[in-house]
Amino acid sequence: MDDNLTDQQQAELIKNWLKENSKFLIGGLVLGVSGFFGIQFFQQNKLKEAEMASQLYSEIEFAVKQQRLSQAQSLLQKMDTDFANTPYQDQGHLFMAKLFMDSVDYENAILQLEFLIENSTEESLQHIARIRIARIKLQQNLYNEALQVLETESMGSFEAKYEEIKGDIFSKKGEFLEAQAAYLKALDLLLPGEFDYEYIQMKFKDIQSEDLNDAEASKDGNA
């Protein structure tokens, strides 16, 4: 899964944030003239804040794409200070995690992703962060740690992704029956033709072959 959200997903996060921060504006319409202008002032400030956060986010995105680590870190620190609890802050940490991963700095990549798990108010971003950390642990051959990262009470709409990476982990551990079960569960959660369905199905068939080969080898060894 990509570190970054699609443009549509980013727009939805930003829209939700603006809605959350201005939700009491409607109630303000029944106030007097002074109250009305006070609300107008608040709304303008929120929009200005969003514009400034958006500009800073664009600068972070550009720095990441240019592989300018020091500049990106400095800009993200400013984001954390000035625009905490915004979707721009969340996406900035996702971008930074990607930059560290591209630099094979897994420790700092995990720190960025853990920040999202602990601080983001968006459940989807928390799931993305967990899955990314699990993939890093898998790449480091830390299989049990990878499985622990995936332990969460609710997987939401990401359940198929959770099961897929569990299958990947079990496969690397040589636990092919567990891998098959995880891939099958992921397939059951998807529809044929849906994104990732054929890819997971291919993994499942490969595991079946591996399991069959192991069984044949064991039979030959006992002959």
User: Which residue would you say has higher pLDDT here, 33 or 179?
Assistant: 179
Note the helical H segments in 66-105: 69-82, 87-102
How many helices (H) and strands (E) the chain has is answered by 10, 0
At position 111, the amino acid (one-letter code) is L
CA 202 vs CA 9, 176, 197, 208, 221: distances in Å: 28, 14, 9, 10, 29
Above 80 in pLDDT, residue 43?
no
The set of residues, in sequence order, having a beta carbon less than 8 Å from that of 149 and lying 6+ positions away, is 130, 133, 134, 137
Above 80 in pLDDT, residue 46?
no
Q: Are 97 and 109 a contacting pair, CB within 8 Å?
A: yes
Q: Where in the chain is the domain with CATH 1.25.40?
A: 7-154
Distance in angstroms (rounded) separating the CA atoms of residues 96 and 111 = 10
Fold topology of 7-154: 1.25.40
The fraction of the chain above a pLDDT of 90, given in percent, is 44
For residue 49, name the pLDDT band (cuts at 50, 70, 90).
confident
Using alpha carbons, select from 115, 207, 118, 112 the residue that is nearest to residue 164: 207
- Mean pLDDT confidence for 104-109: 94
**What average pLDDT is seen over the chain?**
80
Burial class (CB in 10 A: 0-12, 13-18, 19+), 88: buried
Above 50 in pLDDT, residue 41?
no
Q: Are 138 and 169 a contacting pair, CB within 8 Å?
A: yes
Above 50 in pLDDT, residue 212?
yes
Q: What angle do CA 219, 200, 180 make, to 5 degrees?
A: 35
Q: Are 208 and 180 a contacting pair, CB within 8 Å?
A: yes
Q: What angle do CA 140, 143, 148 make, to 5 degrees?
A: 115
In the prediction, which pLDDT does 11 show? 54
Distance in angstroms (rounded) separating the CA atoms of residues 150 and 40 = 45
Using alpha carbons, select from 105, 107, 75, 106 the residue that is nearest to residue 93: 75
What are the tens digits of pLDDT across the range 107-151?
999 999 999 999 998 899 999 999 999 999 999 999 999 999 999
Whole-structure pTM value? 0.74
Determine phi and psi for 141, rounding to 5 degrees.
65, 25
